[in-house]
Structure 1
């Protein structure tokens, strides 16, 4: 077994941004190398060099169960003043991926010494926060042949649940997300002669105002979606009419159908603004792998039933607008994502995020128990 607390603290000190998780990659390989290797096969892949896959051969396999742990950190300067704070300036595990990896290692360590009945594959995934590492791996056919996964599981820590609590739901757990980038091009001019210019502050402002009607008047009141423009840039000085404007934002929805429709409406609205204000409007909508995280109904019902009788605190939860590229993997591989409560700390993605380490062991125990249970049920087919 591994020391969960020390492992988490070691990982916490070496946070790295998406696709640059080299030190994290090396640390994980060192931990894995210290485990019994009898049933283990470790694999790295060229298309995603910091990723690690570990295959555990089952004693009587009829299926392969997968477990995913994301590796990357955020460009957030940690201010917790913990003795094991980030040693990488301006970067921290403000989303708790150090816990995610530690729980995965704890589960892996158990099955490395207790051969499972079915095959297991652990996927230590880079680039969840950006660049859609899960999509990169899947689209590169990583999960084919001996590395095919029949069911996939993964967790995300959550600060407003008691430490060690497991929570999930059937259906959508997290929203799908898409990045919005819009550029408006008109004509610069003197503030005293607006008739000789084409003001993109006015055009872009009209767009932002009308944008808010899309969800209110195009998405059913019983459904949920959100469109937010978080960045608006235009102009250089107070007495010059801005001939260009740049917007950046995000849209989120609980179904891929709603997301596709929101994208269509944004494009249509942009076309209308271009005609109304006689300007050019260029829209870029980038979703990548951030599909809605939709838990498989049958698998998740079994997961819930097990957790309700296991020695762990369990709660049903409502969907949230958080994004996760695990959604792309679940779009192709049936499985379940669940929350792991980490106690009363500040919110995710903040400089003071400090999850309760007492959550680690209950999560490891719960997933060892559930995966063993799932193997006893046999293949879905």
Structure 2
């Protein structure tokens, strides 16, 4: 029988029960059951929707250090073939949040038994993948009362070997927004196009025009991406479509570029309404603010990691990925870092298989880091 550590076992338990945003009921109960098994003398536990706050009271606190772990899964059908694969058909921890939770529980377990000088706040956040849990969690009464002075989070990185930490000062992840555009015109018989307003043609024209925004409306020294990932329209081959829907995403490296891209999208869509005599509606869906690492805290963190045995530190580039942890960093100084898990398949892939050796190594590293930060004079 395979010998695994307690927190690898926890990861496998959690991997079986992935749940979508704000539906993490089994996950929340699993986490609460484990947290209640720990010594409670210094713990304060509160729930928020399907999330959890756990405060570890310090011995003589001067500040509060926050640590966030996201808990939701993705609507992806797992194809790993693992014995502990998802039991929830069509849902998978394909972004590694099961790993994030098990690491957080490992760090929490240590400090429940061995409190440090300062307070620690563990935040188990729902709905990171959508519709977004960080922003409303920041606005909660619990966060207002227990607001940390600094905050840290990690995200697994399949492309890096185990033992690797990758991060940088300043911008790490992009500003992101979903994009949904509905076009409604007049349908009709395929043999009489002059009597209808074809929304398939309108949608195709719109896609081409949207691609001009990055090339002609964004500062060349800035960066943006507009991707239309899905188009749906029409009902049958010989009927002109009266409705079409475009679904996509916007990514920018600055809030100003995001605002400029959206203004231009709205102007182009107004032009489509006139040109094709149709009605259009735009929905930006979930929007995530950029992940911006506090320069001083991140530089200090990287120096600590470089001196930690067995850790390889990489100063990485910013990425166009999105993370709603950015809403927390917008108000609280802190940082996010990539944790290497050496998987042949990437994030959001149905065959993502993180190397579980990363779990206990990350726990040991974070225990040392928080002990150092939380006992500083």
For the superposition of Structure 1 and Structure 2, which TM-score range results when normalised by the shorter chain? over 0.9
User: What residue ranges of structure 2 are gaps of 5+ in the alignment?
Assistant: none
Give aligned pairs, total. Answer: 372
Among candidates 306, 310, 322, match of residue 308 of structure 1: 306
1:364 is matched with which residue?
363
1:27 and 2:35 are equivalent in the alignment: no
Superimposed CA distance per residue, residues 305-333 of structure 1 (whole angstroms, 9 cap, x where no aligned partner): 21111121211111112111111111121
2:39 aligned with 1:36: yes
* RMSD of aligned Cα (Å): 1.5
- CA distance in 2 between partners of 1:216 and 1:141 (Å): 44
CA deviation string 1:86-107 (max 9, x = no partner) = 2222221111111000110111
**Structure 1 residue aligned with 2:228:** 229
On the 8 A contact 1:166/1:363 being kept in 2, the answer is no
Cα distance, 1:162 vs structure 2: 0.2
- Structure 1 residues 133-144: aligned runs within 5 Å: 133-144=133-144
Is the CA contact 1:165–1:359 (under 8 Å) kept in the aligned structure 2?
no
Write the mapping of 1:5-16 to structure 2, written as runs, cut at 5 A: 5-16=8-19
Residues 344 and 44 of structure 1: is their aligned pair in 2 closer, same or farther, counting only changes over 3 Å? closer
1:322-380 CA distance string (max 9 Å, x none)? 111111111121210111110132111111111000101221122112222223445xx
Output the TM-score relative to the length of structure 1. Answer: 0.94
TM-score normalised per structure 2: 0.95
Distance 1:252 1:377 in 2: 39
Question: Which residue does the alignment assign to 1:161?
Answer: 160
Distance (whole Å) between structure 2 residues aligned to residue 234 and residue 372 of structure 1: 57
Q: How does 1:1-381 map to 2 (within 5 A)?
A: 3-45=6-48, 48=49, 50-145=50-145, 147-288=146-287, 290-311=288-309, 312-378=311-377
**2:156 counterpart SS class:** strand
**121-130 or 133-142: bigger deviation:** 133-142
For residue 30 of structure 1, report the CA deviation from its aligned partner.
Answer: 1.7
Q: Tell me if the contact between 2:74 and 2:93 (Cα under 8 Å) persists in the aligned partners.
A: yes
Question: d(CA) in 2 for partners of 1:213 and 1:184?
Answer: 20
User: What's the CA shift for 1:301?
Assistant: 1.3
* Corresponding residue SS for 1:286: coil
Task: Check the 8 A contact 1:52/1:125 in 2, yes or no.
Answer: yes
- CA distance in structure 2 between the partners assigned to 1:142 and 1:262 by the alignment: 35
Asked whether the 8 Å contact 1:96–1:355 carries over to 2, the reply is: yes
| Alpha-carbon displacement from aligned partner over 1:270-301 (angstroms, at most 9, x marks no partner) | 1122122222221112344x111111111111
Q: CA 1:28/1:258 → structure 2, altered by over 3 Å: closer, same or farther?
A: same
